[in-house]
Amino acid sequence: MFQRDRLFTLIVWSAALLVVLIFASFIGNIIYYGLKNFSFLYLWSNPINTGREGGIFPIIISTLLILLVCMTVAIPLSLCTAIFLTEFTSQENILARFIRRSIDVLSGVPSIVFGLFGNAFFSVKLGLGFSILSGGLTLACMVLPIMIRLTQEGLRAVPPEYSLSGSALGISRSQILLHLLLPAAAPSVIVGLVLGVGRALAETAALVFTSGYVDRLPQSLWDSGRALSVHIYDLSMNVPGGETSAYKSAFTLLILVFFINSITTQLTKLWLQKRIILQ
């Protein structure tokens, strides 16, 4: 029995160290090559010579606008859907079962399929063309399943006594949701938000068919815009001699993901602390 415990412990530690090694190798490679010839001027300049020279300022702006459209649509839809599935329907309800099955199917759909759908529906059918709006709406469809699932699991993990005690005090259902259930489920909601942001920022295939390749500064949400992930793909695959700029763009994307996730986490902590103090 003792030998089995030691073997199991060795396997667990080996798996954990392997994951750390893979992560460190991946991040280290991007940081090492990305920091070469990197300067803050790179973040504020326009791309020159198909991205081989210059900077990525218009591309950063396009990326942030696409993410803004995506999250503006995905956050309220995911919250309302998760609340509906956990608080307003039963497990046996036909509509709820259909929605859950649809979420499971959508979570396994490849991103290229979302891109084709976004191009056919948003770009062509709705007449939005290759635009930031088309790209953001397509990404919203992609991140909805994971955000709904994590929000739903967070609400399910809240003890039923929260709702029962609120009802016993005569608190309305909406107030129970806003002031008891959602704050208690906040960690899962934030995890879903962080994963959704990460997937949206890293997506390439869907944006090629919706937001386009244009690397100039967008004037509105109806303009085409190149996201950072698309820019990295284009530099590494279609532009000879663009590997150096691709690594610098990848490094910038990592910093952007880390910055947005940190800000989101800190704002959530401050909000929860403020609620505790007020209570």
Which CATH architecture group holds 35-278?
A: Orthogonal Bundle (1.10)
Question: Where do the domains of the chain lie?
Answer: 35-278
- Give the pLDDT mean for 27-43: 84
What is the rounded distance in angstroms from the CA atom of residue 19 to the CA atom of residue 27? 12
Whether pLDDT at 48 is above 90: no
What is the rounded distance in angstroms from the CA atom of residue 121 to the CA atom of residue 141? 12
Q: Give yes or no for a contact between 69 and 211, defined as CB atoms under 8 angstroms apart.
A: no
The token duo for 90 is 């039963």
Whether pLDDT at 274 is above 70: no
Whether pLDDT at 279 is above 70: no
Q: Quick one: which H or E segment has residue 258? A: helix 243-278
Please report how the helices 228-237 and 186-202 are oriented relative to each other, as an axis angle in degrees rounded to 10: 30
Please count the other Cβ atoms lying within 10 Å of the Cβ belonging to residue 245. Answer: 26
- In Å, how far are 81, 95, 172 from 162, measured between CA atoms? 20, 26, 13
Of residues 276 and 241, more confidently modeled: 241
pLDDT score at 192:
83
Q: Give yes or no for a contact between 63 and 201, defined as CB atoms under 8 angstroms apart.
A: yes
Measuring CA to CA, which residue among 212, 165, 203, 159 is closest to residue 185? 159
> Three-class SS of residue 47?
strand
User: Which residues is 54 bridged to in the sheet?
Assistant: 47
Whether pLDDT at 65 is above 90: yes
For the stretch 107-147, pLDDT in tens is: 888 888 898 999 999 999 998 889 999 999 999 999 999 88
> Three-class SS of residue 112?
helix
For the stretch 150-206, pLDDT in tens is: 888 888 887 777 777 777 777 777 777 777 777 778 778 888 888 888 888 888 888
Confidence class of residue 68 from pLDDT cuts 50, 70 and 90? very high
